[in-house]
Structure 1
């Protein structure tokens, strides 16, 4: 305890005279009485103790190397398959590499608060990059595989932007909470930071559940296309890879929720044993990133349809489609019916020719029976719609 002295000046007026007063305030301070070892370690609960256990340098170094190798592999695969959007999963690998590299350095400098804080922040926030990549990947799969390029009548590009925005909101909340909950911060500030972080990580898991509903819908649509023989190859392996990656992220989220909600008490062993951190944090994140190395999106998503159109292009395309419908009419005196079905970046015009009498001659040019008798002129259109699941 340190004693601070505050002097309140006196007051003199027509009614009262108060002499100056000196007030002493006892302020708790951290005075280190235990000599740190060569790595700066002091027992948990003592002054300047950054860890609740003796951290392993070997484990931190091993995972920094593993994540570094995953980063190099993702950079090479992105260049090989020309998948620019894979920079997101590369960022996830880089952040994990930075986190465990800083952790390895921190195990040898356990009195340095900033190195430990960098390690903690990067390991807490890196999973959000994997989430964002999953959102972008499913949007591209919807655009690539589904003829109507949408789920629940929502274009794939809109879905990608919406979920990445939600992921960014969760990122900001977790960043604020993680920065508040430093190991050397006052206990009240640490509790506040933990509660903020738990709120952010809870939102992250909620967004994952909502996103999985879209994944299941896409899954059912692809099963239907397979039954009618119109499905492209490769969707199943890529979708199950996405499921697996989000599953590992979920394991990691529940670990953090249980760890923080249990508090730093003797009944909660998670904060006091490093093995839980590596088994339930480091290993799931490693596998979540490795999934996309094993089944890389670039091996499946190839060609112009693998790129998502911008929102601006979607708006202009919709306007062009309306103008084409309004401007279409009769040609050559023969009655024609046109139905436009929008399939992504192109509009396919299906013409059902209604062969009737030539208005210039007043008779049937084929001198035969009217082919429309007994037929539904929408027959060709219906079969096309059933084929591509537009009903």
Structure 2
């Protein structure tokens, strides 16, 4: 009897509990006990590594049997989980990020306009002074202008690797045109002002030709490195391209140091013959413009060496703050180009003596003179016995 009472009370308590909780609550209680809560796995960002398997079929002939093999290749894959804004910007380090900061469209357009002014003035001065060889400095200004133009376009299309690569090639290689013009200018200054037309026994024509040739070699090295450092390339290839480019600008700076040494030798030898102060003579003013332009290029080279020294994954201040680019790259190159507007070689070297012949022309002329001297000596000995020679 007592047992039956306990069973009746237990049954009544169960019925009351079910009515109190309700069917929905009871269902939730059962689900909480049997089904775990759903979890969300965040999507990967940046570059991840996926594995691709390639199967190579085996080969069998009468001599040997090569079994089939399966090769696993690790492939870096970029997964984009952030929607770019209207200009294509995504934060640095994420998939599709080209810039390490948000580039200013207005600043790029402003400097493109400034370089366009220099292009116009350089063209006008080259025509006014009739200096055809000044096309080199015109090319330097055009390349700087094109670099800033493509930078402004890239600021509005920040997902375009092609536009960024064009900007990068122009901005990295434009200073080499200024270098070449400086080498050509000093060669013509030696040819025009120096009594012997030579420095340290080296003819002016040879000085200009050798340095321009080395400048072209540096141009090729930097072009290869700049092209390999394309943001769409793998990190390993970008790093190799950066190393090649840094080697190119290091060679460029070494040539500048040697060239400045020749400039100093020229200055001292000219000051012995010309008692006027450096700034009061035409050659001295042009030489100061050369010093200034090369100093600005040196500032820019040091900036690039420090910027690239950290490698691909470095996010230092020089790479993440745009102001350094304009203060240490764009502004120095603008001042270097403007120095040759302020003191143009055509204003200092006015007559045709500044049109120095090329190395090939000079070599051919010397060969012809030697042949002519030999023939005249032979004719003089055969005919009248006179010594000496006559140049026709």
Output the TM-score relative to the length of structure 2: 0.78
Checking the alignment, whether the CA contact within 8 Å between 1:36 and 1:42 is kept in structure 2 is yes
Moved more, 61-70 or 220-229: 220-229
Within 2, Cα distance between the matches of 1:127 and 1:328?
Answer: 55
Within 1, Cα distance between the matches of 2:214 and 2:66?
Answer: 59
Within 2, Cα distance between the matches of 1:228 and 1:313?
Answer: 35
Match of 1:151 in 2: 199
**SS of match in other structure, 1:6:** strand
Match of 1:225 in 2: 273
Match of 1:6 in 2: 54
Checking the alignment, whether the CA contact within 8 Å between 2:242 and 2:311 is kept in structure 1 is no
Match of 1:383 in 2: none
Counting only pairs closer than 5 Å after superposition, residues 215-294 of structure 1 correspond to structure 2 as 215-227=263-275, 233-264=281-312, 268-294=316-342
Within 1, Cα distance between the matches of 2:128 and 2:276?
Answer: 34
Match of 1:46 in 2: 94
Checking the alignment, whether the CA contact within 8 Å between 1:40 and 1:110 is kept in structure 2 is yes
- Does residue 97 in structure 1 map to residue 145 in structure 2? yes
- Does residue 313 in structure 1 map to residue 313 in structure 2? no
1:25, distance to aligned residue in structure 2 (A): 3.9
Match of 1:118 in 2: 166
**SS of match in other structure, 2:309:** helix
Within 1, Cα distance between the matches of 2:264 and 2:377?
Answer: 34
Checking the alignment, whether the CA contact within 8 Å between 1:264 and 1:271 is kept in structure 2 is no
Within 2, Cα distance between the matches of 1:15 and 1:148?
Answer: 78
1:10, distance to aligned residue in structure 2 (A): 3.8
1:40, distance to aligned residue in structure 2 (A): 0.4
Go from structure 1 to structure 2 and tell me whether the alpha carbon gap of 1:244 and 1:324 turns closer, same or farther (over 3 Å shift).
Answer: farther
Q: Among residues 167, 175, 196, which one is paired with 2:244 in the alignment? A: 196
Paired residues, number: 331
CA RMSD of aligned residues (A): 3.0
1:276, distance to aligned residue in structure 2 (A): 0.8
**SS of match in other structure, 2:274:** helix
Q: Deviations over 1:120-158 (max 9, x none)?
A: 011000000000000000000001101111111211111
1:17, distance to aligned residue in structure 2 (A): 7.9
Which 5+ residue runs of structure 2 have no aligned equivalent?
1-48, 382-387
- Does residue 176 in structure 1 map to residue 224 in structure 2? yes
Go from structure 1 to structure 2 and tell me whether the alpha carbon gap of 1:320 and 1:245 turns closer, same or farther (over 3 Å shift).
Answer: farther
Moved more, 285-294 or 149-158: 149-158
1:264, distance to aligned residue in structure 2 (A): 4.8
Larger radius of gyration: 2
Counting only pairs closer than 5 Å after superposition, residues 26-65 of structure 1 correspond to structure 2 as 26-65=74-113
Moved more, 313-322 or 121-130: 313-322
Moved more, 33-42 or 9-18: 9-18
Output the TM-score relative to the length of structure 1: 0.78
Query: If each structure's helix is expressed as a fraction of its own residues, which one has the higher value?
Result: 2
